[in-house]
Copies of this chain bind each other. A is one copy, B any other.
Amino acid sequence: MNIDGATRLYAIVGDPVAQVRSPSVYTERFASAGINAVMIPAQVQTEGFTATMQGLMALGNLDGLLVTSPHKNAALALTQRVSARAQSVGAVNALRRERDGSWTGDMFDGVGFMSAALSLGPVHGARALLFGCGGAGAAIAVELAAHGARSIALIDPDISRAEQLGVSLGQHFPGCATVASRDHGRYDIVINASVVGMNDSEDLPGDPGPLDSKSIVGDVVLRPSERPTALIRKALSAGARTVTGQHMHAGQADAIMGFFHGPNVGTAASHT
């Protein structure tokens, strides 16, 4: 890639940012799409967050933002318009500047999983089991509920966090039953949205219950495809359909490119 005076800017905002992959992923996607733009890392502290962001967003050649930890919730207040799912999650991870100068926010953390899951089997009417009720888990739970999942069992070592997510989902999606515990029956969809499996850990986030060829099993943990997580390996050995962290990241990047540049580029998110 080249950078010149006419290069448009996108920034991924977080603290820390040294570990983020988005600058290389999106800069390469912009180049492939023939767009003169780069994704820069922007380390923004929580102290002074709003003032720093207002300065960054005042740059005339900055067209969009990604937001990562710990700012996804706070970034909601920077938008003039958000998608229903972002409202439900209470957080945004992508913002774009509209022609009138206002900012639209959306939340894509659950989109990569959902677009893959929808291609693998029915989500409407499914019984889902979700491990991990932090930001990624909340985004995936909202996608499941928005796509008609019948119920979601919400599992987190911090039970109050699971219960709070259940309350929030109940407000936005009264047709989706949530419970902060699990039974020992079969779940149609099992997702790990916790950190279990990171750093090459071979632990399972919990017992996924009976799995078969109709099960859909997802794991947000990012691993090289030749070394899947223990959960994905268990799913594969049961003949289940799987969605890896790699799939989710690629699907999310497709959707975000569409959000940034419209349906001509990448695959636009469908239900904002």
Contacts and interface: CB of A to CB of B under 8 A. Distances in A.
Copies, count: 2
Contacts of A24: 2-4
B42 A61 contact: yes
Contact of A58 (B1, B9, B38, B44): B44
A7 B45 CA distance: 17
Nearest to A60: B43
Q: In which size bucket is the chain A interface?
A: 35 or more
A267 B234 CA distance: 59
Lowest 10 CB-CB distances: which A-B pairs, in order? A55-B55, A43-B60, A5-B20, A52-B58, A6-B18, A43-B61, A3-B23, A52-B55, A5-B41, A4-B24
Interface string A1-40: 1111111010010010111111110010000000000111
A25 to B, nearest CB: 9
B6 A41 contact: yes
Contact of A55 (B15, B20, B58, B61): B58
Nearest to A15: B60
Interface of A: 1-7, 9, 12, 15, 17-24, 27, 38-45, 48, 51-56, 58-61
13 contacts: A3-B24, A4-B24, A5-B12, A7-B40, A9-B40, A9-B41, A9-B42, A15-B60, A38-B38, A44-B58, A45-B60, A54-B55, A55-B56
Contacts of A40: 3, 7, 9, 38, 40
A5 B27 contact: no
Given A5-B23, A44-B60, 8 more contacts: A3-B23, A3-B39, A4-B20, A9-B41, A43-B60, A51-B55, A52-B55, A52-B58
A239 B181 CA distance: 90
Contacts of A39: 3
Contacts of A17: 5, 61
A183 B22 CA distance: 62
A58 to B, nearest CB: 4
